[in-house]
Every structure is written in structure tokens, then in C-alpha cells.
């Protein structure tokens, strides 16, 4: 399915904002092998891995911030498809720095959409929203029709971003697809992006034989999804007309308890320990309770379904980092996740 | 009811942001007669009417912008109750200038809430949201439980503001009441605030014997409410514990067609004409279709109900402007609505 989508991009100009972030870099790796004119906009340079600067060979790099209107104009003009992955992640962080979250996430996407309206009104924009737009304790599995009631500024801005996109579709004909992604994990997450995904952070800790900190009993269910599956969903969403104006959950559809996730990681790494501590206040307030996604809409509409089983997915990520570490590709004493 | 609420404010410090705007100035007029320490934050000076500078006698004026963190800190410190009425109005305008709407409306309220969290965590914040958070063609009358699906950036930011408030209540205990106001009209609207309320604009036009422009047939229903009723609701919401964490529609609960509204104004003014023109594109896209509010929640919970019948309300506003004009209180050749 995803490979057919890549074929559909032939000859198109595709922009990935946040293309050096965790999800963006995984997507860029796939697009580099496609017959597209690839543009990458990102703040960070050198990219994820110091000695892998050559990975962007063949793409045009726009170095800077998503709030920089002139830079965004340059990157957007003439695009057929935009993956808007630039942004700041993390619900607890957003509650500590609400104005920064507003600026990066809300102003960022409005700046992009304004450029689309002026310069590329026929463009399609694919946007990764989040399960965090839903309220706590929604029915499980959670369908896209569940009430939105975010517990964080981050979640409010994800929901607002969805509304901006739908509004720009209605007002200016800019096509859009919104993917509400659950808990992604996989290679190419930076260590400083701890707040993004706890799974990657735990893999990082386990591989260094450190403690994996679990709040409380850790029995809350989560829906963990390998980034390869997410990238497939992004590619299909970008290519399929049936995805236009749609909001789709992207998750495994399976609930795995938090502590079980930690156990799988310790087992796969063959190192690390699990340590239970009481819930910190700033984490307790953003805790949603059990969550796993109802993914029947995207299965029926776009034919996408997660393919990587959780245990195998974790083993895959651990193996990838081992290879990178032993090949020296990580370019430093500290493994970069 | 509202008078009892004013009595409940005795000895309290009350801040009105946007206190020189249409709704704010009407509220301030009532609070000046109450036993409160009144603070007013506003951008505009002199206020509404040039020769009425003395109207703020007894209040402390904080002159500046809601995004000015130092000014907001000064205004917020020590407050018991805040009416956050500062902001930029108008759905069509917000679609033309989305980044400006983001900055004034979303950054504005986040700046205020951040000051509350740091300086006045026991404060209560009353916020005027809007019927424009609802989607088009919601069931009529529209209850608070109807889906939110704004047609404008303005509506998205009103909904986001509601979510910020509820989040700050949950995270930091800041009490809040959200009023989703329908179509308010009344005295003290500035001519440059045309986008705020079409009723006031039409009164202005009719009193100068100009044309009242109606898009299409003007059969769409609206829920017009006199600002005196809105001020009553604001006062009750500020005083009643039952209002905490609540979202309430504030409207007449009665649907009046747009063209009927124009006819009532022409009749009350004894001047003006009605002119039908095709829908301009930028207005058609934000048109919600019929709307009138289900106000049973606020009636049951807070005992508030609109009291001013539409025809009498319009006659009252026309008479008020006539008096102001003939007394010279308007301080200029042009009546200031």
C-alpha cells in the first residue's frame, strides 16, 4: 500500500517540515528513495547523527524555524504535498511553557497555512495530530468521534491545528488529512526529545543499563506504534484522495500496559531495571488513563493497518541502535535516540 | 439577581480587561456603582466618548495591551475576580488576519492566565466566549452540548480559550465561568468596531438615514441580546459558586430573522432603508445558518433569563443615542456607537 503511494508521488514536489525530528527523519528516509523532488525544513543541523550529514543528499534543505515567514514561503512555493511535522512535543512541557507552545505549534502551522493560501493553494497538507486531543477516560477503544477535551496546552493546540486545517480546506480549498497518532516509537529520536516518546527514552535507558522509571503501578493501557507503521500511514494519507478532509486515528489498536511496555524493553535490551515511583504532580494532571485507538476508520477508508507487533518492534529498534553504535554511526559517547 | 450579585462583590477587587470596549464599558458602568475596588485594563484612551473621561473616576486604569506581561501582572496581582473581555472581534476579520487573531486573542488570554497562576491563584475568571464555537446548522435551539466546529479562526480561538480556562482550573485551581454569548447589541460600541455587532452598526446607519445592507434574503435566524442582559449574566456568573467550571449559553433564546432585525431598527429610528445584495464570498463562508440558543442550562443553574424584548431593546438603544447626541455627549459630528 505504502509503496503504491510512493509511486503516486512520482514527479511531485514534497516538503517535510520538522524533517530532522523523530517522525520527520524517518519519513525523509523513505522519501529519499522515491521519485520526488524532496524539500526538508528543519531547525537542527547537523541532523540526528553527526556523521550522517550525507543522508539528506538529493533533498533541498531549508534551515530555520517554522515561524520564519520568508523561509516558509521559500519552502512552500511550488509544493504539491506538505508533511507538517515541525513542532514542539510533550504535554507536560506545554503546561510549563504555554506561550512557547502557542508560538511554535499554533503560530507555526498558521504561518505555513498562510503561505499555502498565497503560494500553493492546490497543495495537500498532511498533519500529525495526537491522541491527546481526546479527554481522559474516553471509551476504549477510542473512535475519532469521541469528545475532544485535551488535558494539556499541547493537546489544545493540536485540536486548534486540526481546526485551522479544516477551515483552510473550506475557505481556500487547501486539501488536508489529519492523523491522530497514538504513542510512536522507533529509531532517530534525539535524547533531548525525552518528552516526545517515553518508549524511546526507556530503550535509551535500558541500553545503558539504567533504571526505567514507572509512575505508580503502571497499569494504564497505551497504544504503542512503530514509526515504520506511522510512516506508511503518512505516505498513504498523502497519496489517497479518499483521505482528503479526513481525521484518522493511527495506532496499533491494541492496549499494552505501561509497565508491560517497560518489561518488553528490558527483555529486548537484556539490560536495565524497572523502578516504580509515585506519580509526580505535573505528570498526574496530564494522565489520560487507559487509551487505545479504534482504527477501523483508516482501515476501511485507506486500507492501512499497523503491521509491526509490539515485541518485534522493540527488538527491531534495539537492534538498530546496537548496529549504529557498533558501526560508530552515532558519532559520540552517548547513543542518540 | 444581578443586584444581589453586585452586593456579593462588596470589598472585592475586580478587574475588567477590555474595559473600554463595547461589552466592557457597559459592564464597567455597572461596577462603578458597586462597592468594589475596580480596575480597568484597556488599549484605548480617551474612552468611548471624548468628553466622558470622568466615567472611570474611582477606577484604576491600566493603559495598554493584554499581551504586555508586565502590565497584566500589575493589573492581576491581588484581584478576586477578573472579567477577561479584551480581544479582537469578528469572524471575517480573523480569517483575513489569522496571525493577528492568534496573537491578540490566544496569546492575550494565555498571558492573563499565566499571571493569574503566578500572582492570584484564587482568582475567578469570567470569559465571554461566543456562539461561533458551534458548527453551522447545529440543531435549533442549540444547547451547550452541541458539537463545536468553528467556521472562523476567531471561533477556533474562542474554543481554544475555553479549553485554556478549563485546563487552568484543573491544573491550578483557577476558577472560571464561560459564557457563550449570542449576538449582543447596545450602547457604547465604537464605529470602528463594525465587525463586532451588526445590530449596532445598523442602528448607526439607520440614524444617519443610510442603507442597511442585507446579504441575500436575510431569512437566517439570529439570537439578539441586549447588552444589559449580558451584563446581568456576567455579574451573576462572577458571584455564583454554581457557575464555577461551567459553560453557559447567554442569549434571548428566541430566533429573529436578519431582515426582521433590520426592519425593527428602521422602524425604531424612523429613518434608514434596507438594501439587499448578494452574499460576499468572505461572509458566505462564515455564515452559520439559523442560530438561536437553548438557554435552559443558565436558567436552571443560575436563575438568569434574558429580560429585554428585542423591539423594546432596539428602541432603548436608539433613544439612548438620541439623548447622547442632543446632549452633546458624543463630542463630535459623528455619533459614536
- What was the ipTM of the complex prediction? 0.91
pLDDT, greater one: A186 or B194:
A186
For B94, the 3-state DSSP assignment is: helix
Residue of B nearest to A145 (CA): B147
CATH-assigned architecture of domain B2-185+225-252+292-307: 3-Layer(aba) Sandwich (3.40)
pLDDT tens-digit readout, B34-48: 999 999 999 875 545
- Of B95, B107, B156, nearest to A160 by CB-CB distance is B156
User: Which contiguous run of DSSP H or E holds residue B310?
Assistant: helix B310-327
CA dihedral (B168, B169, B173, B179) positive or negative = positive
Whether this prediction's pTM lies above 0.95 is answered by no
pLDDT at B304 over 50: yes
Contact B151, B132 (CB under 8 A): yes
Superfamily of domain A2-185+225-252+294-307: NAD(P)-binding Rossmann-like Domain (3.40.50.720)
**Cβ contact B99–A113 (<8 Å):** no
pLDDT at B333 over 80: no
pLDDT band at B194 (very low <50, low <70, confident <90, very high): low
How far, CA to CA in Å, does B217 sit from each of A205, B24, B258? Answer: 67, 33, 9
Residues of B in contact with A159 (CB under 8 A): 160, 163
Domain coordinates in residue numbering, chain A: 2-185+225-252+294-307
pLDDT at B193 over 70: no
Closest by CA to B87, choosing from B173, B145, B160, is B160
pLDDT at B9 over 80: yes
User: Which contiguous run of DSSP H or E holds residue B28?
Assistant: helix B22-31
pLDDT at B326 over 80: no
pLDDT at B198 over 90: no
Give residue ranges of B with CB < 8 Å to any A CB. Answer: 95, 98-99, 102, 106-107, 110-111, 113-114, 149-153, 156-157, 159-160, 163-164, 167, 170-171, 285
Q: Please give the grid coordinates belonging to residue B227.
A: 447588552
Residues of A in contact with B167 (CB under 8 A): 95, 150-153, 156
Mean pLDDT of A219-225: 96
Q: Distance between CA B147 and CA B135 in Å, rounded?
A: 7
Residue B149 distance to chain A (closest CA, Å): 8
pLDDT tens-digit readout, A308-334: 999 999 999 999 888 877 765 544 433
pLDDT at A50 over 60: no
Residues of B in contact with A157 (CB under 8 A): 160
Amino acid at each position: 500500500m505504502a509503496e503504491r503511494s510512493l509511486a503516486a508521488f512520482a514527479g511531485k514536489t514534497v516538503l517535510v517540515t520538522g524533517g530532522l525530528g523523530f517522525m520527520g527523519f524517518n519519513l525523509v528516509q523513505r522519501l529519499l528513495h522515491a521519485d520526488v523532488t524532496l524539500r526538508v525544513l528543519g531547525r537542527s543541523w547537523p541532523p540526528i547523527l553527526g556523521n550522517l550529514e550525507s543522508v539528506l543528499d538529493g533533498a533541498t534543505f531549508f534551515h530555520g524555524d517554522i515561524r520564519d515567514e520568508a523561509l516558509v514561503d521559500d519552502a512552500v512555493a511550488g509544493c504539491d504535498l506538505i508533511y507538517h511535522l515541525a513542532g514542539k512535543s510533550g504535554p507536560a512541557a506545554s503546561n510549563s511553557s504555554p506561550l512557547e507552545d502557542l508560538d511554535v505549534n499554533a503560530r507555526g502551522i498558521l504561518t505555513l497555512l498562510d503561505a499555502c493560501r498565497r503560494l500553493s493553494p492546490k497543495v495537500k497538507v498532511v498533519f500529525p495530530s495526537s491522541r491527546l486531543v481526546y479527554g481522559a477516560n474516553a471509551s476504549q477503544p477510542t473512535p475519532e468521534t469521541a469528545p475532544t477535551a485535551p488535558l494539556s496546552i499541547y493537546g489544545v493546540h493540536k485540536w486548534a491545528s486540526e481546526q485551522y486545517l479544516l477551515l483552510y480546506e473550506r475557505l481556500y480549498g487547501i486539501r488536508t488529512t489529519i492523523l491522530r497518532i497514538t504513542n510512536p516509537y522507533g529509531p532517530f529520536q534525539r535524547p533531548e526529545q525525552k518528552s516526545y516518546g517515553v518508549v524511546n527514552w526507556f530503550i535509551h535507558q535500558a541500553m545503558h543499563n539504567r533504571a526505567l522509571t514507572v509512575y505508580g503501578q503502571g497499569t494504564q493501557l497505551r497504544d504503542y506504534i512503530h514509526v515504520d507503521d506511522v510512516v506508511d500511514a503518512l505516505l498513504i494519507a498523502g497519496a489517497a484522495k479518499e483521505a482528503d478532509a479526513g481525521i484518522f486515528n493511527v495506532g496499533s489498536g491494541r492496549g499494552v500496559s505501561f509497565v508491560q511496555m517497560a518489561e518488553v524493553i528490558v527483555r529486548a535490551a537484556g539490560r536495565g531495571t524497572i523502578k516504580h515511583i509515585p506519580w509526580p504532580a505535573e505528570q498526574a494532571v496530564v494522565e489520560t488513563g487507559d487509551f487505545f485507538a479504534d482504527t477501523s476508520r483508516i482501515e476501511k477508508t485507506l486500507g492501512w493497518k499497523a503491521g509491526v507487533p509490539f515485541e518485534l518492534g522493540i527488538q527491531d529498534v534495539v537492534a538498530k541502535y546496537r548496529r549504529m553504535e557498533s558501526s560508530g554511526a552515532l558519532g559520540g559517547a552517548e547513543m542518540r535516540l
